[in-house]
Amino acid sequence: MSCTTLVRGMTRPHINLGFRYSRSVHSYLPGLGHGAGRMTPLGRKDPSDPSVQNEKLMARLKSLATGPLCDSDKLHRQIAKTTDIPELKSYEGLRLMCPSSMTLRNPLPKHEIQSKGKSNIMVGIARTCQLTRTNDFLGVLYALSRTRPKDVLVVNSCGSTRAVAGSLFAAEAARRGLRGIVIDGPVRDVDDLSTETRVYSTMVSPYAGTVQHVGEGIDVTPVICGGVEVNPGDIVFGDTDGVLVGSAKSFSICIHEAENIMSVEKQLMEGMRLGVSLHAMTNFDEHIQLRKEGQESSLEFKDLNTIKFDAEPLHMY
């Protein structure tokens, strides 16, 4: 039964050589879905327009999860160390916010996900907000007033221990069509947060701060959120496992392998549902033996097309 490694068995990533990316506050908005973008003579959006490309990228990301994206990121970091292909060698990578502290505060109930086809996935364009006074959230309110649909407001609260957002801000974010709010600091009103937009934070406090200092505004600088740098115009992706940040270019490189990984995992889950063990669908025994002997080996998935799945689920104990 033939085997294929996760690296060798997956298609090479498609690199868009014409991709254009800028972190300039004035130039990234048209390129990332804000504004009309380039139009053809017939009044249609130009397919080569970065705004169109990124809308398609974010639409594809909605069907993924942080796990496969992290697996793909790990793969491409390894490739970048050994490849001579400039586009792969310059891979910047995705950045994972601290998973032990950055928490989704308003996950959808499971019955809504199953019955209504909704999702806890958050994917949108980063709009950054740096507070300059501890425990004062006027800057968040100001930044929120400058946001647009499909944005994710990313806030560094300047070490605040009092809440800088709550149910009112979440409701306004949902009204504006924001994909999410991500705060390095505390929020409150957890039970009343709108489920129409995702809200992440590193802390919870029922005690609200003051509203006296406007701060730096929006998209003035990158911010540190969850231990990683977030630039204006970055893509922010989140689910119940955590939050990833990266340039649109990095996500466009990662997405192909992530989709392949998710497809393989679905096949493995289906195989186990039909009674085939996870170990039988890998080279587990051979891998264990080779590692015991000190030989190089990789845990590999077998060619699932050659595995015979039973028609009915088997209950094997």
- In the chain, the DSSP E strands lie at 3-4, 95-96, 103-104, 122-130, 151-156, 180-187, 198-204, 223-225, 228-230, 235-239, 242-246, 301-302
pLDDT 10s digits, 281-310: 999 999 999 999 999 998 888 876 655 554
pLDDT 10s digits, 223-242: 999 999 999 999 999 999 99
Q: Which parts are annotated binding residues?
A: 188-189
Q: Are 143 and 171 in contact (CB under 8 A)?
A: no
Q: Which parts are annotated binding residues for Mg(2+)?
A: 189
Average pLDDT, stretch 235-262?
96
**What's residue 304's pLDDT?**
64
**What's residue 215's pLDDT?**
87
Q: Which parts are annotated binding residues for substrate?
A: 188
Average pLDDT, stretch 167-190?
98
pTM of the model: 0.80
Fold of 96-246: Glucose Oxidase; domain 1 (3.50.30)
Give domain limits for the chain.
96-246
